Every structure is written in structure tokens, then in C-alpha cells.
Amino acid sequence: MSNRSKVRRLPKRASYDRATIDAILDAGLICHVGLVADGSPVVIPMAYARRGDELLLHGSSASRLMKALAAGGEASIAVTHLDGIVVARSAFHSSMNYRSVVLFGKARAILGEEEKRAALEALVDHLIPGRAAELRPMTPNEVKVTTVVAIPIDEFSAKIRFGPPVDEESDYALGAWGGVVPLRIEAGEPLGDGRSDATVAVPESVHRLRLRFDEVPS
Amino acid sequence: MSNRSKVRRLPKRASYDRATIDAILDAGLICHVGLVADGSPVVIPMAYARRGDELLLHGSSASRLMKALAAGGEASIAVTHLDGIVVARSAFHSSMNYRSVVLFGKARAILGEEEKRAALEALVDHLIPGRAAELRPMTPNEVKVTTVVAIPIDEFSAKIRFGPPVDEESDYALGAWGGVVPLRIEAGEPLGDGRSDATVAVPESVHRLRLRFDEVPS
């Protein structure tokens, strides 16, 4: 825990445990990457994957953001899951249940076709576990036009809120309702694009994908 | 559209239309706020509300982040909805369907008890529409210990991907499945906290809350 990764507001909600951090990262699909560009902050949503002690990001080699990251740019990256709306008995204690991770670190470019290829497979397998093995290999050009960077997971914090509202004692006496509306991501039936023969089955990886969201705690 | 709010990657996915921006902002509950602190980027998830041409944020008056914003700090703010997993016939075209907005602007502190009170009511009503009218008024101290800032919505862009994968023509011939797994947020049954008499009904605002997520396009 560094000075900037220390959670100061509501420190009882904070965690610096790697297993907790990893579970939050592994359950998400989109991160928000913050950079400084010309002295100003920029936040962009991106796909990611955790691979061991690193977070992998990728994008077009022509992207300004990816160029800044590949040049060793400093980033702050947040992954947040919204788990519920906390209906308190006052505006002040109205809240959300969530799990979030914030990382800080300098990106390093992943270079070399084989290293990039492995990282890109980790990215597609984070999005759709088991998918890389079902697909044709990436072409050398597909690998070439993609920039891949890794951010070390070593300066981080998690912040988690769960459970019912915490109201003022005097507000419990008002006779108002208090509780939580749980929220979760629901995956619908896979929708084929009509470009395959009707006899082509939905792949295993896509069937398993729906289970992924059933496993996320609400 | 400013230079920094111009979408350079995949510009066909970009929108600068205020109605599009507002619909994305109004459908979300969590934004990611990027700031520059001591020269380094920091990204933090926060609740927010759109009120007209401004985005409202609030937090403890003791928070470093809120102090930086209230002092006129420059921010970049992103709101992202994940709408589906795009299952392409190659790793390269594997993707997500999403709607996202990125804003840039300088925050201004909302001062004065009545102005702060109105903004805090807008925040609770964004979280749970109609809730402010059901609750007791905020106490002067609750208003006092909360910092509220507004960011103008005037430098922004949206980026939206929807629909099926866009595969290489040669990959359609491979006989593999391609399509989308739609994702949406599902609200569960409201869970009372057991601190109200069993005869106390779930409030109207909480009943309506569940409809909110049914309205989000998938």
C-alpha cells in the first residue's frame, strides 16, 4: 500500500488483499484507464485481462492512448462492479453496494510477436474463457497492428460496500422502509448473426459464458 | 467538439449529439472520475447525476478528491454501459457492445445551503427517482459535511458499438459461429433490512426502480 493507494474515505470499506483484488479484476470486463495528456486528465473505458501480477490492455497501434501507455506512461486503472442500490431512510445514507479496485502503475509495452500473441490470447480468453483455442491463429498483421501493454499489479486498493443501509438511530423510528435492491449482470441467449449455416452450433465457450455472470455475487 | 474530445479511433462509432450523451448519462449510476494529483493520474468511481447541462458529483468535505474538484480541478469523467459480448470468428474482431460518454471540464463548487440541498436531492433522485420527496429533509449538518460540485457538459463525446461481429470475409467461410451474447443489468426483489415493522410497505420509488433497468436497451 502506497500513500496514493491508501483509502482515506471510509477506510473500513478498504482492502489491500491480493485475493480480493484479483477476484474483483477477474469478474470484470471493462476498466477505466486514467492518463495525463498535456497536463490534463483523460479517462477511457477499455477491455482488459489480468494475467498473474499484471493487467493487460490492448488497442490499435495508431491510438494516442496506447502510444502514451507503450511509452511507459503512468496510469490509474479502476474496475467497478455495481451490486445494489442501498435504500436508506435519509438522503445522506442512500448509497450503492459495489466492489471496486483502483491500481496505479507505469505501463510497459509487450513486444515481440510471440509475447504479443500470448497476451492477446489472454485478452480474448478473459472476455470469453476458452475462446482462443476455438479460433484460427491471429495473422502476423493482426498482431502487428495491435499494441499491447502490461501494468504491474503492485500499487492497488479495493473498496467494497455490501449489506443493508446504515441509518441514524432516530431514523429507524420513523417507520420508513429501508433495504437493498440487488443488481446483477444478466446474460441473455446468444444471438447468432445469421452468417453461419443454421447447423453450426453455439460454441462451448459461449455456453460457458452465461454461467460466468451467474457466479458473480450480488 | 474540442480537439481532446474528438474520437480518433473508429470514428464511425462516435457521437457528439447531446440527446445521445444525455441518454447514456441518465441510464447510468456510476461514473469514473479522472484527476491529476501531484502530476499523476487518479481514477475513482463515484455516484453522479445529470441536471440539465451539468454533471453533479458529491462526497465528503474531508475527501482529497472532492477538495481538488471544489478548487476548480480539471476532470475527465466517463460513464460506460456494457451491452453485450461480441463473439467474432477471430480474436482480432472479438469485441464488446457498449455505450460510453467521456466528458472533460473544470468543476465548480456548489455553495450555499439551499443550492447544495437541491443538488443533493437531484443526486438521490438520480439514484432512486422520486426518493427525495419520500424522505425527511436533510439536516443542516448533513448538507454541511458534504461537498457538491458541478462539471459543465460542454466538452464531450460518446462512443457506441452495437450489433453483430464484423468479421473478415474469409472468416465467414470457416463455418464457425458468430454472434452476440447480450448483457443487461437485472434488479432483484427489494430486500428489507428487518429494521422496519413488517407492515411497512416497499415505497413507490423502490417499486419504480426495478422498471428503470428494464428500460435500458440491451
Q: How far apart are CA B84 and CA B218, in angstroms?
A: 7
The tens digit of pLDDT for each residue in A175-203 reads 899 999 999 999 999 999 999 988 899 99
B174 and B190 in contact (C-beta within 8 Å)?
no
Range of the domain at A25: 11-165+178-187+197-214
CB neighbours of A183 closer than 8 A, spacing ≥ 6? Answer: A82, A83, A84, A85, A218, B185, B186, B187, B188, B213
B89 and B174 in contact (C-beta within 8 Å)?
yes
- Closest Cβ–Cβ partner in B104, B123, B182 for A191: B182
The distance of A182 to chain B (nearest Cα, Å) reads 5
B64: pLDDT strictly greater than 90 = no
A44: pLDDT strictly greater than 50 = yes
A218: pLDDT strictly greater than 80 = no
Chain B residues near residue A201 by CB distance under 8 angstroms = 177
Residue A118 burial by Cβ neighbours in a 10 Å radius (0-12, 13-18, 19+): middle
> Counting one residue from A and one from B, how many pairs have CB atoms under 8 Å apart?
297
pLDDT at A183: 97
Q: How far apart are CA B25 and CA A205, in angstroms?
A: 32
Residue B173 one-letter amino acid: A
Q: How far apart are CA A202 and CA A192, in angstroms?
A: 8
- Choose the mutation target among A60, A92, A147 for the interface with B, i.e. most B CBs under 10 Å: A92
- Whether B191 maps to a domain, the answer reads no
The tens digit of pLDDT for each residue in A119-160 reads 999 999 999 999 999 999 999 999 999 999 999 999 999 999
CA B165 to the chain's CA centroid:
26
CB atoms within 10 A of CB A160: 17
- Choose the mutation target among A10, A67, A181 for the interface with B, i.e. most B CBs under 10 Å: A181
Cβ distance A34 to B45 less than 8 Å, yes or no, reads no
- Whether B156 maps to a domain, the answer reads yes
Handedness of CA A112, A103, B46, A96 (dihedral sign): positive
Largest CA distance in chain B: 68
A116: pLDDT strictly greater than 90 = yes
CB neighbours of A179 closer than 8 A, spacing ≥ 6? Answer: A87, A164, A165, B190, B191, B192, B193, B202, B206
B24 and B99 in contact (C-beta within 8 Å)?
yes
CB neighbours of A64 closer than 8 A, spacing ≥ 6? Answer: A37, B8
Q: How far apart are CA B216 and CA B82, in angstroms?
A: 11
Number of structural domains (chain B) is: 1
pLDDT at B90: 97
pLDDT at B210: 83
A208: pLDDT strictly greater than 60 = yes
The distance of B178 to chain A (nearest Cα, Å) reads 6
- Whether B174 maps to a domain, the answer reads no
Question: Helices (H) and strands (E) in chain B — how many of each?
Answer: 6, 12
- In degrees, rounded to 5, the angle at the alpha carbon of residue A111 between the alpha carbons of residues A110 and A112 is 135
- Whether A138 maps to a domain, the answer reads yes
- Whether B132 maps to a domain, the answer reads yes
- Whether A3 maps to a domain, the answer reads no
Calculate the CA dihedral of residues A92, A93, A98, A104 and round it to 10 degrees: 50
Nearest residue of A to residue B181 by CA position?
Answer: A190
Domain at A88, CATH number = 2.30.110.10
B197: pLDDT strictly greater than 50 = yes
Mean pLDDT (whole number) for B113-125: 98
Handedness of CA A29, A181, B51, B41 (dihedral sign): negative
pLDDT at B215: 57
| pLDDT band per the 50, 70, 90 thresholds, residue B1 | low
pLDDT at B218: 41
Q: How far apart are CA A204 and CA B91, in angstroms?
A: 16
The tens digit of pLDDT for each residue in B137-158 reads 999 999 999 999 999 999 999 9
Q: How far apart are CA B78 and CA B22, in angstroms?
A: 13
Mean pLDDT (whole number) for B68-86: 97
- Closest Cβ–Cβ partner in A40, A177, A185 for B192: A177
Cβ distance A40 to B127 less than 8 Å, yes or no, reads no
- Whether A43 maps to a domain, the answer reads yes
Chain B residues near residue A85 by CB distance under 8 angstroms = 29, 127-128, 187, 209
Cβ distance A90 to B197 less than 8 Å, yes or no, reads no
CB neighbours of B156 closer than 8 A, spacing ≥ 6? Answer: B5, B16, B21, B101, B102, B103, B104
Average pLDDT, chain A: 93
pLDDT at A2: 73
- Whether A1 maps to a domain, the answer reads no
B152 and B105 in contact (C-beta within 8 Å)?
yes
Average pLDDT, chain B: 93
Chain B residues near residue A180 by CB distance under 8 angstroms = 190-191, 193
